[in-house]
Amino acid sequence: MRALTESDVRASFVNADPEELRLIEMPHDFLLIDWDFRDFLAWRDPASSKRGCVVVEVDGRVMGIVLRAADPARARSGMCNICHLMQPGNQVALFSARRAGAAGARGDSVGTYICADLTCHDNVRLAHPLAPNEIRLPGQIDSRLDGTKRRMEGFAKRVLEGLV
Ligand SMILES: [Zn+2]
């Protein structure tokens, strides 16, 4: 994805209220992010145990989404709907996102099960490591990685539905 500054990220949120925008903190490693190798950015907010954030590029537009983790985490293992990996119950959580615009103001939200630490981007790569002589180039298509990216974009589109 394109390289973003902290103010780019803050300006990208489509479903955050002013209070959330004020409180959201960037991931600790924000300055170390290698944007060329990231399909999207997702992190648990260091400022709030329940809050998560996703920043994804959809049709050339950078969209930030605030998520809220449901409590408590379910006990059974389950599949993450973004990276499609099976996770133990404490490592997958139901996240909900208030929808953008008028729908969100009415209380509409969309929810899905996602890896509890929101590290799908890395998890899918760790689960499908490259062979020793293989390299992964930016822009190269890998169906599992591409699927993870597409599903995160799809989730973002559901948040935005009704606004566009
Ligand atoms: Zn995942």
Residue-wise pLDDT for 90-120, tens only, equals 899 999 999 999 999 999 999 999 999 999 9
Q: 32: CA distance to ligand 1 center in Å?
A: 22
Q: What is the pLDDT of residue 73?
A: 61
Q: What is the pLDDT of residue 53?
A: 98
From CA 107, how far away is CA 164, in angstroms rounded?
18
Greater confidence, 133 or 23? 23
Q: 36: CA distance to ligand 1 center in Å?
A: 20
Closest by CA position to 115, among listed 64, 159, 52, 164: 52
Q: What is the pLDDT of residue 138?
A: 66
Q: Does pLDDT of 126 surpass 80?
A: yes
Q: 123: CA distance to ligand 1 center in Å?
A: 7
pLDDT by residue (tens digit) across 24-56? Answer: 999 999 999 999 999 999 999 999 989 999 999
Domain-wise residue ranges, the chain = 6-160
Q: Is the pTM of this model over 0.85?
A: yes
Q: 104: CA distance to ligand 1 center in Å?
A: 25
Highest-confidence segment of 74-83, 105-114, 121-130? 105-114
Q: Cβ distance 147 to 153 under 8 Å?
A: no
Q: What is the pLDDT of residue 162?
A: 58
Which tokens go with 141?
């298509």
Mean pLDDT of the chain: 91
Q: What is the pLDDT of residue 19?
A: 93
Q: 120: CA distance to ligand 1 center in Å?
A: 4
Confidence grade of residue 137 (pLDDT, cut at 50, 70, 90): confident
Q: Does pLDDT of 164 surpass 60?
A: no
DSSP string, 107-123: T-EEEEEEETT--HHHH
Place of tokens 């997958």: 92
Average pLDDT over residues 2-31: 95
Average pLDDT over residues 15-21: 93
Q: 130: CA distance to ligand 1 center in Å?
A: 19
Q: 30: CA distance to ligand 1 center in Å?
A: 20
H-state helical runs in 13-57: 18-23
- Count of Cβ atoms closer than 10 Å to residue 13 Cβ: 20
